């Protein structure tokens, strides 16, 4: 009888973590999803001893301090220190306990806004980071390099870093002080419908471009990665292969929600990085592409928001 692989999933209550657990393919594995009370990722001894005791075959490291521009600008120290500490504790504890396989989740913010796109994996650390998420980017690069160095020192270890484009979907945060772009738009337009407001504010000029993927697609790639561990490069971009302007996302949500209002621009607020489209050549070579359209993804996410509206507000 084939042994069922045991997977430790950090960040299991977050958007990506929950999407992984609700993916149909999760039933093929035994998942360890300890609560914060049982596993404090900021405590090295706690993490080391948990991994030593439970002996996972694979670790999916999806935990971290996350948020949109507003939260990144307000709490940079927390984003830097805690994300580095969490990553260091998980990755080193896994290595010292001889866990040979890990999927480390990174972010497209590891690329400099000054790099020429579409952005390739070898452009990490090429220039300064975008100021609005600099602290988070430094932490993600630290985790990526730590995984790369472990692989380099011993080829029996396969610590793969996935670099997704921006993500949204079910289980997202819709709190305007914490949310990313698409979730924020869904929240704002729903509030406008509810209060019969005729306009919604856009930060900046709305012309910066973003590549967004539905979390159901990204969770599917994670299971694809588990199946194809040895085919994956150490670092791999995961994306759509195309992007839209921020104003286009507002228009798409407006259309899906059948709202008839208008948009205003607050140019005193940051527009964020102008563009960070990923080069997904390696992803395509492996034979994987996302399945969900933007419209379908927005519709499903909005249905989730409406179903959970009380807890979202």
Residues serving a catalytic function are 136
Euclidean distance between CA atoms 141 and 119, whole angstroms: 15
Residue pair 104/162 in contact by the 8 Å Cβ criterion = yes
Q: Is 64 helix (H, G, I), strand (E, B) or coil?
A: coil
CA 125/CA 138 separation, integer angstroms: 9
Rounded distance, CA 224 to CA 231, Å?
11
Query: What CA–CA distance (Å, rounded) separates 110 from 128?
Result: 10
**16 contacts 219 by C-beta, under 8 angstroms:** yes
Distance, CA of 229 to CA of 160 (rounded, Å) = 8
Sole residue written with tokens 């979202």: 312
Inter-residue contact 283 to 231 (CB < 8 Å) = no
């Amino acid at each position: 009888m084939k042994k069922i692989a045991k997977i430790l999933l950090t960040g299991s209550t977050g958007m990506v973590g929950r999407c992984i657990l609700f993916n149909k393919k999760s039933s093929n594995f035994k998942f360890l999803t300890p609560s914060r009370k049982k596993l404090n990722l900021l405590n090295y001894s706690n993490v080391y001893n948990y991994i030593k005791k439970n002996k996972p075959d694979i670790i999916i490291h999806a935990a971290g301090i996350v948020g949109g521009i507003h939260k990144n600008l307000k709490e940079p120290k927390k984003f830097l220190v805690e994300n580095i500490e969490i990553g260091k504790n998980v990755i080193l504890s896994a290595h010292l306990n001889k866990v040979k396989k890990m999927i480390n989740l990174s972010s497209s913010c590891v690329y400099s806004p000054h790099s020429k796109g579409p952005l390739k994996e070898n452009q990490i650390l090429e220039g300064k980071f975008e100021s609005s998420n600099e602290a988070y980017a430094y932490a993600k690069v630290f985790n990526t390099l730590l995984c790369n160095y472990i692989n380099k020192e011993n080829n029996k270890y396969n610590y793969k870093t996935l670099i997704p484009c921006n993500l949204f979907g079910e289980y997202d945060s819709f709190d305007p002080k914490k949310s990313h772009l698409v979730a924020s738009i869904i929240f704002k337009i729903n509030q406008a419908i509810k209060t019969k407001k005729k306009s919604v504010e856009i930060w900046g000029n709305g012309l910066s471009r973003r590549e967004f993927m539905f979390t159901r697609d990204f969770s599917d790639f994670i299971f694809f990665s588990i199946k194809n561990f040895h085919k994956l490069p150490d670092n791999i971009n995961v994306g759509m292969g195309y992007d839209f302007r921020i104003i286009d996302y507002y228009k798409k949500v407006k259309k899906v929600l059948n709202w008839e209002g208008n948009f205003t621009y607050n140019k005193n607020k940051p527009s964020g990085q102008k563009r960070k489209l990923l080069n997904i050549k390696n992803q395509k070579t492996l034979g994987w592409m996302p399945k969900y359209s933007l419209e379908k993804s927005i519709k499903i996410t909005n249905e989730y928001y409406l179903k959970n509206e009380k807890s979202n507000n």
